[in-house]
Structure 1
Amino acid sequence: MVSKKALTFKDFPAINRINFIEVDNSYTQLLKYRREDPKYFSKVIIVLDSDVKDSEIDPDFKNVIKLPGNRSIEEMIYNFLLNLPPKSPILNHEIGFTIRNIREYGPENRRLYNDDEPRKRYKKWFNDNLEKFETLNVFEEWANQHSKELDDFLHKFKRCYNIVCKANGLPRIK
């Protein structure tokens, strides 16, 4: 639920008014819903992964937004972790969360993650380590180091939020 977490980093003013629903549909299916049932799907915010190409999103879909970046969140976090300074508070030698182990047991290890599709390997690795990421505040540290990207995302999210509020007859935020 990356989008909800991103909104909590910056104290998004209407966070308690948002009902986050995690769906397991592909982005193509979500965009198809938006196109084929605009009466309903124009009244919700659709948050897509950052690796969806802009050209695949209809520019008229003002309620569709992508997460920050241009790679999948899973790959983005993996690369973020590999590029941490050795003394980063996220790295924890006591539990074996080191750059060496991240690399050695990461999504490129084909013995552990043997799917031919890289996106599936990264997703599995990410989900296998999600609890560790949350415990070690990986997402918070990413947000601290990428505040401009996060601010841009929040600005776009706020715009989508206000568009959806207007469509639903709800109060907008400033």
Structure 2
Amino acid sequence: MHMLSVGAAGGQRAVGAFVGVFFILIGSGVGAFGAGFGGGADGLAPDGPDGLFQVVGLVFAAVGMLVVAFGVTVILRAVRFAAWLDGTRAYVRGAYRTRSVDLATAYVHQGAVTGRVGRQAISTATLEARDPATGATLTIPLESAGSGRLPPNELRALADAMSHGRGTSADDQDVLRFAETLRSAR
């Protein structure tokens, strides 16, 4: 098994966990407000013909639950995200599940993920793989968080996995060219 240097570094994981906890606390507060706003034994919300206060309370509670779920996802994504190779099979573990694709048989090409940092758009190169038999897809960042491109040995391992057993078809030639690009990256 060959681990890849993707995912958040220690400090970035801590920031992700902090942001996630912040959203959980906000969501819990909004949900508690909604539960209290809906009324109950204390008689704060009068029972109207349409139960408007109960509906508003339920909406606040639902929004609070969504915000808590978002916070949990942020924490899990920061802590769990990883990618590795086991032979020619690549694995990517996200917040809730692990996906895998055999790079030796998949159609592989270079992609990019664009995000924003403030007003600046940042583009990160990725390896995109799609299993032709199952349609399963996988995205592996080719740059590690904060430290630039993956190390040459990891790029070579990806190139070796995706070029293993390739033939002369047009798709295979595209994959082999991409593999050579990864091998020559410094």
Do these two structures clear the TM 0.5 threshold for a shared fold by scoring above it? no
Tell me the TM-score normalized by structure 2. 0.20
Greater helix share, structure number:
1
Tell me the TM-score normalized by structure 1. 0.21
Greater strand share, structure number:
2
Larger radius of gyration, structure 1 or 2? Answer: 2
